[in-house]
Structure 1
């Protein structure tokens, strides 16, 4: 099982997708979450990250981001399938969505 023919170009851009995933999910979401916590009193509602932020502040947030990305990278590394490109792509898409959400919360508050 491989990548659909129309999507095969993604397989050639895995490194760029990882950079995008780290930029959007790790940095973008991390920074906008931290800014929201510091400036507008937003709260982290994630069932795992919320308690980490409550206990350790932004260090808990960035630890959770780092561990999450590392675990997804490990899964990506172990998979031999060309379809593994979906992992960094999905992280990048989620990162873009939550960064946009966080930015909206910051700017509306």
Structure 2
């Protein structure tokens, strides 16, 4: 099977709901949960340029506010785009969620 951009978009359009579920599970839940667990370890801090300062000032629960705001922005962008390429939005969120969740797990294991 040859991988192509058109094939990825076609698959994404057929699985858009699954991509949004993956985005919520990986970025929303996975990143948030592993961030909270990681922050309970000695020497671990949030390094995100937005979340870090907000969490320093308002506490860990501000991360939930950041996530809700970002998901709202991502959803609005997805709804605004009128091409099939809009599947890139939940696909990118899910991919970033997977990467940061794995990163957080590695940080936790190293702490």
Instruction: Tell me, yes or no, whether TM beats 0.5.
Output: yes
Tell me the residue number matched to 1:54. Answer: 56
- In the alignment, the residues of structure 1 paired with residue 94 and residue 79 of structure 2 have an alpha-carbon distance, to the nearest angstrom, of 17
Tell me the residue number matched to 1:65. Answer: 67
SS of the residue corresponding to residue 48 of structure 2 reads: coil
- In the alignment, the residues of structure 1 paired with residue 62 and residue 76 of structure 2 have an alpha-carbon distance, to the nearest angstrom, of 21
- CA drift of 1:69 comes to 1.0
- In the alignment, the residues of structure 1 paired with residue 26 and residue 92 of structure 2 have an alpha-carbon distance, to the nearest angstrom, of 11
- CA drift of 1:100 comes to 0.2
- CA drift of 1:81 comes to 0.8
Give aligned pairs, total: 107
Gap runs ≥5 in structure 1: none
- CA drift of 1:39 comes to 2.7
Note the alpha carbon deviations across 1:63-87, whole angstroms, 9 max, x for none.
Answer: 1011111100110011111000000
Tell me the residue number matched to 1:6. Answer: 7
- In the alignment, the residues of structure 1 paired with residue 82 and residue 15 of structure 2 have an alpha-carbon distance, to the nearest angstrom, of 16
Q: Return the TM-score normalized by structure 1.
A: 0.92
- In the alignment, the residues of structure 1 paired with residue 42 and residue 100 of structure 2 have an alpha-carbon distance, to the nearest angstrom, of 17
Gap runs ≥5 in structure 2: none
- Does the aligned pair in 2 maintain the 1:36–1:105 contact within 8 Å? yes
CA RMSD of aligned residues (A): 1.4
Tell me the residue number matched to 1:87. Answer: 89
Give the one of 37, 42, 45 matched to 2:44: 42
- Runs (4+) off by over 6 Å: none
Tell me the residue number matched to 2:24. Answer: 22
